[in-house]
A and B are shown apart, each in its own frame.
Chain A
Amino acid sequence: MRDTAAPRVQARLWDAPTRIVHWALVAAIGFAWWAAETDHMDWHRLAGYVVLGLLVFRLVWGFAGSASARFASFVKGPAATLAYVRSLRLRAHAEVPGHNPLGAWSVLAILATLVVQVVTGLFAVDVDGIESGPLSDRVDFDTGRLFAAWHHASFSALEALVLLHLAAIAFYAVYKRADLVRPMLTGRGSFARDPGLAFAPLWRAALVAAFAVFVAWWTARGLRL
């Protein structure tokens, strides 16, 4: 469809906060994974607090952020999702300014898994009672061990979701000739016509970021001020 005569317009799609959170999550989760695998648990905890802060920001931004970041704008019911799934086999890209109805469920699944990942980590205890999350003193040893097992299981789920995410990007790139990566880097997408999305002011992002930093800091201190 790119080669049709109709001129395409470049327009804003993802705001800076959404993009920064996206790539910072990639970096922090990757780093946390490496730190855990190499027994750098101080760094693993630190990375976990960063993920917690980013997650808090993204969840609040899903209600108070720019149009393309709001859950209400992209989470659709089963009928719309099914209709979109049926359009998947068409080579033509059903242009949605932002998350499509199917991708929306992927976003929700990733965010939900990250919530489980972070919360289980807060209470987890290692087999020796040496390393533990900042809230592990609220649970006994056996419960802390159970949280550690869930922390592992949810990371496997996260790995599966990330693979699915990458596979979807590859599918759109090859089959639909749609580049999903560039807009997440530059913030701008290519459209048949300007979708005219609304964007949240920067001061609101600063306010939400301050709240997210506070939540992460407070949690790191074991919910003690």
Chain B
Amino acid sequence: MGVRFGMTAAGLALVAALAAGAATALASGAPSGAAAVKARQQNFKQLGGAFKAINDELKKPAPDKAVIVANAAKMHGLAQQEATWFPKGSGPEAGVKTGAKPEIWSDPQGFAAAIQRLQGATARLQQVSASGDLAAIRSEVQTTGGACKNCHDHYRVPDRH
């Protein structure tokens, strides 16, 4: 009886330990594909919102340099993190609506180059923003938009909105 109780207790302890371990792994491990898609969309929304803020200033007769500088910095910061927004499993197989094409994972070198192009553009955008030279800012905004489109043309499902 005593032995059996001890065996059962040990078994229960083992099961509990395994369950706790699994829970820890789930909590701390890679997020599910669907969650990664949602997080990525939020990040891109931040990026688009920052770009819109810069474009909005450039529409005004007297653009606010501080707003452009702040949003260029935000864009460059986001561009630095962009490569981490595409964990394996967050493509079409995630089971939620995403514009991410499988090519992102089947052509990692091309995708990395596309992100690098954006990072180069946002770095220059940040530099010229600080200078306050509106013509140069407009030009870098064009280049940055081109870097966005370059990646979208290859790695994003066309969105008709």
Contacts and interface: CB of A to CB of B under 8 A. Distances in A.
A196 B148 CA distance: 61
A130 B148 contact: yes
Given A128-B145, A224-B61, A148 B161 contact: yes
Contacts of B47: 129
B56 to A, nearest CB: 4
A5 B48 CA distance: 70
Interface in A21-60: none
B59 A141 contact: no
Contacts of B56: 136-137
Contact of A152 (B57, B148, B152, B161): B161
Contacts of A141: 45, 48-49, 52
B131 to A, nearest CB: 22
A125 B52 contact: yes
A129 B48 contact: yes
Given A127-B161, A128-B145, A141-B45, A222 B59 contact: yes
Contacts of A18: none
B114 to A, nearest CB: 14
Interface residues of B, number: 21
Interface in B95-151: 145, 148-149
Interface string A100-132: 000000000000000000000000011111101
Interface string A208-225: 000000000000001010
B49 A130 contact: no
B interface: dominant SS = helix
Contacts of B48: 125, 127-129, 141
Contacts of B50: 129
Interface residues of A, number: 19
Contacts of A222: 59-60
Interface string A141-174: 1001100110010000000000000000000000
Contact of A129 (B49, B152, B160): B49
B32 interface: no
Contacts of A189: none
A149 B160 CA distance: 10
A182 B48 CA distance: 49
B55 A130 contact: yes
Nearest to A148: B161
A134 interface: yes
B55 A132 contact: yes
Nearest to B144: A130
A127 B159 contact: yes
Residue of A137, A140, A145, A224 contacting most chain B CB atoms (<10 Å): A137
Contacts of B86: none
A202 B67 CA distance: 49
B52 A129 contact: yes
Contacts of B52: 125, 129, 132, 136, 141, 144
Which are the 8 A-B pairs with shortest beta-carbon distances?
A137-B56, A129-B52, A129-B51, A129-B48, A141-B49, A130-B145, A137-B59, A141-B52
Interface of B: 45, 47-53, 55-57, 59-61, 145, 148-149, 152, 159-161
19 contacts: A125-B52, A126-B161, A127-B48, A127-B159, A128-B48, A128-B145, A128-B148, A129-B47, A129-B52, A129-B53, A129-B55, A130-B149, A132-B52, A136-B52, A136-B56, A137-B55, A140-B49, A144-B52, A145-B161
